[in-house]
Amino acid sequence: MQRQPTIEWQTNGICNYDCSYCIQSKKFRQGHPSDEEIEKFLAFFARLPRIWEIKMSGGEPFAFKGFMDKIIPGLAKLPHHISILTNLSAPLSILDKLVTLVGDKLSVVSVSLHLEYVEAPEFIDKVKQLRQWLRPETSLVINSVLVPNTLENLLAIRGLVEGSSLKYFPQVMKTKHGVFPYTESDKALVVQLTGKNPSAKEANLAPSYRGLVCWSGVEYFVLDQKGHAWACRTAKRFQQGYLGNVLADTFELKSLPMPCQYDICPCTVPANRGMIEGIKINHEN
Ligand code: SF4
Ligand code: SF4
């Protein structure tokens, strides 16, 4: 599989939920770009050579009014592919508008199931409706954080999801410093939910790819709501791999891939876009 150049853009910090297991602290779940800054982001994307995938997340993107008012109409005019990570709390009328505006560009829609805020059957019904509106080529994936003490319930929910011909994507729960230390009995349930040796397409186990050549910073980067760009999420956490600021015109990509130097790769996007050499790859999340 060819590498798919990809930007993970945190369009805004604000979120309409406050999940107990959220890895973004409340301090960082705030703020959004101004109209003027959105125009600068769009101008930056317009200048990019080649076609990139712009995967947007927050906070919660739809919780920011400018997301549907400015960002999506702006991206509709650009050639890039669009992906979205959302808690799917936006009303169906808004999701319908999204598909009308950029349905032909949507690559991956990742919808996160947060059982502290929604009931699984209603959530699945909403996802089924969205699936009907999307092109067959658009991937639609239900993310599910494997929250301790809820795993038996999640097994039943996985059955409901797969029984609706939808894709269930389990993710181990992360903490600030790595993966949550599950109890022995929960570990067995985690394996039931993820499978024994899942690929990055099948589950997110937040593995280590230390030593493998990675194209992050070259054909993949993360971009925050203030315009700061970093080679990858882990690099950002360690305040390394800074690529400059796209709003201040100081952004510059690295020219060469480098061996990964980290013990955790918390997100499957780089793996599933072909950025990490020598692992099983797939472009579905
Ligand atoms: S929806 Fe996502 S960003 Fe918002 S509080 Fe929950 S986990 Fe955090
Ligand atoms: S393998 Fe993951 S953690 Fe390592 S450099 Fe690449 S994106 Fe970052």
Between 178 and 143, where is the model more confident? 143
Q: Is residue 270 part of a domain?
A: no
Q: Is residue 42 part of a domain?
A: yes
| pLDDT of 281 strictly over 70 | no
Q: What confidence tens digit (pLDDT) does each residue in 262-279 have?
A: 999 999 999 999 999 998
Q: Is residue 67 part of a domain?
A: yes
Q: What confidence tens digit (pLDDT) does each residue in 158-206 have?
A: 999 999 999 999 999 998 788 999 999 999 999 999 999 999 999 999 9
Substitution candidate for ligand 2 out of 7, 268, 276, 277 with most atoms within 8 A of CB? 276
Q: Is residue 281 part of a domain?
A: no
Pocket of ligand 2 (CB under 6 A): 209, 214, 216, 232, 234-235, 260, 262, 265, 270, 276
Helix, strand, or coil here: 70? helix
Q: Is residue 282 part of a domain?
A: no
Kindly state the average pLDDT of the residues 7-20: 97
Pairing of strands 178-179, 174-175: antiparallel
User: Which H or E element spans position 113?
Assistant: strand 106-113
Q: What is the pLDDT of residue 103?
A: 96
Domain of 155, in residue numbers:
6-207+216-257
User: Which H or E element spans position 93?
Assistant: helix 92-102
pLDDT mean across residues, the chain: 95
71: tokens are: 């960002």
Pocket of ligand 1 (CB under 6 A): 15, 17-19, 22, 24, 58-60, 87, 114
* Whether the Cβ atoms of residue 142 and residue 111 lie closer than 8 Å to each other: yes
Closest C-alpha to ligand 1, atom 7 = 22
Q: Is residue 279 part of a domain?
A: no
How many domains are there within the chain? 1
User: What is d(CA 26, CA 171) in angstroms, rounded to the nearest whole number?
Assistant: 21
Q: What is the pLDDT of residue 27?
A: 86
Measure 176 CA to ligand 2 centroid, in angstroms. Answer: 16
Q: What is the pLDDT of residue 177?
A: 80
Which ligand 1 atom is at minimum distance from the Cα of 29? Answer: 3
Q: What is the pLDDT of residue 183?
A: 94
Closest C-alpha to ligand 1, atom 3 = 59
> What band does 284 get if pLDDT is binned at 50, 70 and 90?
low
Which ligand 1 atom is at minimum distance from the Cα of 24? Answer: 8
User: What is d(CA 83, CA 186) in angstroms, rounded to the nearest whole number?
Assistant: 32
Q: What is the pTM of this model?
A: 0.95
60: tokens are: 């919660």
- CATH number for the domain including 64? 3.20.20.70
Ligand closest to 241 (CA) is: 2
Q: What is the pLDDT of residue 272?
A: 95
Measure 260 CA to ligand 2 centroid, in angstroms. Answer: 5
